A and B are shown apart, each in its own frame.
Chain A
Amino acid sequence: SAVISQKPSRDICQRGTSLTIQCQVDSQVTMMFWYRQQPGQSLTLIATANQGSEATYESGFVIDKFPISRPNLTFSTLTVSNMSPEDSSIYLCSVRLRGRRETQYFGPGTRLLVL
């Protein structure tokens, strides 16, 4: 398995501000993803973080709102920009390990509350 850490673990932010979430993995991974989980809901894929190139966003998510970086194989950031209360959610980093394509693991998540 992989050890995935996320920072911060939780935050309370004011509307209109931005927050950057970091994801660090202790193993080399092939794929890194960012998911959102609203309270009591399922997991929704925001984007696939691509190393050295622009992330691939799912329908309903745009780069201006959720810019993503992935400078190397084990690290990625997600920024939630110009936040509104509707952005209050849990944001989860998820990875697939090199050599084990099939298995996907989740980080502990970042709990965001926007006031």
Chain B
Amino acid sequence: QQPVQSPQAVILREGEDAVINCSSSKALYSVHWYRQKHGEAPVFLMILLKGGEQMRHEKISASFNEKKQQSSLYLTASQLSYSGTYFCGTEIESGAGSYQLTFGKGTKLSVIP
């Protein structure tokens, strides 16, 4: 049930754009995106809810395709501070409410000058 993230790693130059994908084989209620820098805890970026709108956090946005059970994270005009490992966490749709996040293996993003 672990969601699949792609790519596993990506290297960008400052100002370039990137897309990180997250897909699940299960019907999802929500998708959560986090960024984790080395030696630090994961930091919440945004959440995509079933039936919800595309979200945005500064120059980072995300979408959720309910038909495909896929979410994509879009990083626009990347900055050095965007470097880190990005995790998607998925919550499976459940009538009783799941409340549990299952995380993908992560995408390591490196932004270089």
Contacts and interface: CB of A to CB of B under 8 A. Distances in A.
Interface of A: 1, 31, 33, 41-45, 48, 92, 96, 101-109
Nearest to A111: B39
Interface string B19-31: 0000000000010
Closest 8 CB pairs of A and B: A43-B103, A106-B41, A42-B103, A106-B42, A42-B105, A102-B47, A108-B41, A109-B41
5 contacts: A42-B105, A44-B103, A102-B30, A104-B44, A108-B41
A80 to B, nearest CB: 18
Given A102-B49, A103-B47, A104-B89, A43 B100 contact: no
B43 to A, nearest CB: 8
Chain B: interface size category:
20 to 34
Given A31-B99, A45-B101, A103 B44 contact: yes
B87 A42 contact: yes
Contact of B44 (A33, A41, A101, A105): A105
B106 A42 contact: yes
Contacts of A107: 41
Given A42-B87, A45-B102, A106-B44, 11 more contacts: A41-B105, A43-B42, A43-B89, A45-B101, A48-B99, A92-B42, A101-B99, A102-B30, A104-B44, A104-B101, A106-B42
